[in-house]
Amino acid sequence: MNTTFDYIIVGAGSAGCVLANRLTEDGQYSVLLLETGGSDKSIFIQMPTALSIPMNTKKYAWQFETEPEPFLDQRRMHCPRGKVLGGSSSINGMVYVRGHARDFDEWQQHGADGWDYAHCLPYFKKAETWAFGGDDYRGEQGPLGVNNGNQMKNPLYQAFVDAGVEAGYFHTPDYNGRQQEGFGPMHMTVKNGVRWSTANAYLRPAMDRPNLTVVTHALAHKVLLEGKQAVGVRYEQNGQVQDVRAGKEVILSAGSIGSPHLLQLSGIGARETLESAGIEVQHELPGVGENLQDHLEFYFQFRCKQPISLNGKLDPWNKFLIGSRWLLKKDGLGATNHFESCGFIRSKAGVEWPDLQYHFLPAAMRYDGREAFDGHGFQVHIGHNKPQSRGYVKVASADPGTAPRIRFNYLEHEADREGFRACVRLTREIINQPAMDAYREAEIQPGEHIHTDEQIDAFVREAVESAYHPSCTCKMGTDKLAVVDPEAKVHGIKGLRVVDSSVFPTIPNGNLNAPTIMVAERAADLIRGKTPLAPSEAEIGLDPEWQNQQRAGQPARQTG
């Protein structure tokens, strides 16, 4: 193999696969893509309904664990990250949420100049092919296939949407369009019944290009520096350590855990953090690994009066039938992630855009995919998505095989605890609307006895789980904790960029795969020196009375 390339990309994940495609598409540059994991050609990755398997499999995901979380009763939280072609887009839930338009305006306010919604929207459009056609908000010629799965065939999906409207919230037919706030169908990155990861959408079409080299099972040790210039990468494959050089740039796309960890292993970061791990300081940059943010969620579970939930499909025989149909036809229950309706609401008056997110599931099951109780049920996942608590990723050893220290400080901030109290109370009101009367039976979790602030706080500390959206650890901006500038260049180091969810200044209201892909699409143009796409003038849908009301202004119907 050649040992010199124009660009070296570390990490074949949601961002790295996009960059590998875009930087090689005109044949001008040679690109090396390094990935610690291996092939994504597994039925458990490609079949959407099997989503819980790769996330919990060491072969396909780093099984990171946090330090004891001080505000979650010292629980250690699971933090899986993709370790396979496609990265976390090959192990995630395939939910496609861009975030609210104001989330990106917020980035601009934090110093990420040029990353407001008007400049980001054209790249969201460039990336996708929306199953129902393009418009001012949606793309129709991009690599990423996006649809609604099985079109909400199970009546529980529509009942949940109707209940949200009955409770006084908007109906929003496309939360990725003009207006996020409200209830409606949910979108997923599935194409022709197959998980449409960035490996499938971007990397596979580029694999035969002579100017792209992909090396798997390659553990990056460090970025090679000559003074304040990045010149290459040291990596290990099959026990052999090799140095490769970059003629133009090294680009880290190892994710919000991997990218700051690799910078620290390379001697770039906070002096105290590096020296405590026995690493010589090459460039002091105190924000590396700081500003860590994530989404938490828990789920409400109810028994279902009618035998129509997916709990009737969780036995081995039905799983065999679902899998067989998917293998033969790529359709049916195997071709969906089962999150086909959703909601985005504001937790209280005075919040300008939604900070709570719902995923509705017509089943009651645990995170490992097993049924939660005998009989039929349904659940709704709910989380407060604009946390104010901040954590860190810190290198623990100079050995690149040693996991970093991770702590999110979940629920440290009172505003986050307040947000989860709203989650409990507002969700209960929605599920008790008339639209759910034909289906809703006893509340299983949290349980009707959980209603005071103290009881809710205790339940949340015990039951809440990560939504697996770590981000913001190499934040973009110009302040003292910023790691990269608005062109994703590492401050103070030439020839080195970070392009992945770690560069988000703040976490958006939604799942992170879509905005990560968008960031990589726009960064690819910046890296190549191309004129960025013209900003959009599309309107942003906001409740005009957001300062005075918590919902659309329609009073909730009596809940019987």
Q: What is the DSSP string of 34-101?
A: E-SSB----HHHHSGGGTHHHHT-TTTEEEEEPSPBTTTTTBPPEEEEE-BTTGGGGTS--B-----H
- Ligand-binding annotation for 14, yes or no, is yes
Q: How confident is the model at residue 368 (pLDDT cuts 50, 70, 90)?
A: low
Q: Does 524 share its domain with 396? A: yes
Is residue 69 annotated as involved in ligand binding? no
CATH number for 531: 3.50.50.60
Residues 302 and 341 reside in one and the same domain = yes
Tens of pLDDT, residues 64-104: 999 999 999 999 999 999 999 999 999 999 999 999 999 99
SS3 of the chain: helix, strand, coil, percent, to 5:
30, 25, 45
Mean pLDDT of all residues belonging to the chain: 96
Tell me, yes or no, whether 540 lies in a domain: no
Q: Across residues 440-449, what is the average pLDDT?
A: 94
241-272: per-residue pLDDT in tens?
999 999 999 999 999 999 999 999 999 999 99
Question: Does 441 share its domain with 306?
Answer: yes
| pLDDT grade for 314, boundaries at 50, 70 and 90 | confident
CA distance 409 to 67: 10
Confirm whether 416 is domain-assigned. yes
pLDDT band at 560 (very low <50, low <70, confident <90, very high): very low
Q: Is 212 within any annotated ligand binding site?
A: no
Domain assignment present for residue 548? The answer is no
Cβ-contact 14, 198 below 8 angstroms? yes
Q: Tell me whether residue 119 is in a domain.
A: yes
Q: pLDDT, tens digit, for every residue of 455-477?
A: 999 999 999 999 999 999 999 99
Q: Is 19 annotated as a binding residue?
A: yes
> Same structural domain for residues 436 and 419?
yes
Question: Collapsing DSSP states into helix, strand and coil, what is residue 236?
Answer: strand
- 7 belongs to an annotated ligand binding site: yes
Asked whether residue 84 is marked as a ligand-binding residue, the answer is: yes
From the list 171, 295, 469, 491, the catalytic residue is 469
- Domains in the chain, number: 2
Residue 370 lies in a domain: yes
Q: Which pLDDT band, with edges at 50, 70 and 90, does 2 fall under?
A: confident
Per-residue pLDDT tens over the stretch 506-516: 999 999 999 99
Instruction: Evaluate if residue 558 carries a pLDDT over 80.
Output: no
469 is catalytic: yes
Whether 524 and 496 map to the same domain: the answer is yes
Are residues 102 and 196 both part of a single domain?
yes
557 is a domain residue? no
Whether 541 is covered by a domain: the verdict is: no
Structural domain of residue 417, as residue ranges? 149-185+296-384+411-463
Known binder of ligand: residue 279?
no
Q: Provide the percentage of residues in the chain whose pLDDT is more than 70.
A: 97
Q: Mark whether 91 and 59 lie in a shared domain.
A: yes
Question: Is residue 448 annotated as involved in ligand binding?
Answer: no
Q: Please tell me whether 197 is known to bind a ligand.
A: no
Residue 448 clears pLDDT 70, i.e. is over it: yes
The answer to whether residues 223 and 358 belong to one domain is: no
Residues 435, 477, single domain; the answer is no
Query: Which CATH number characterizes residue 321's domain?
Result: 3.30.410.40
Element containing residue 117 per DSSP (H, E): helix 117-127
Is 289 in the same domain as 315? no
User: For the segment 517-526, what is each residue's pLDDT rounded down to a tens digit?
Assistant: 999 999 999 9
Give yes or no for a contact between 296 and 410, defined as CB atoms under 8 angstroms apart.
yes
Give pTM, 2 decimals: 0.97
**Residue 552 domain flag:** no
Annotated ligand binding at 29? The verdict is yes
Q: Report the candidate in 301, 303, 272 with the shortest Cα–Cα distance to residue 289.
A: 272
Residue 494 per-residue DSSP state:
B
| Pairing of the two strands 440-445 and 296-304 | antiparallel
Domain end residue (candidates: 422, 444, 463): 463
Secondary structure letter of residue 203 according to DSSP: I
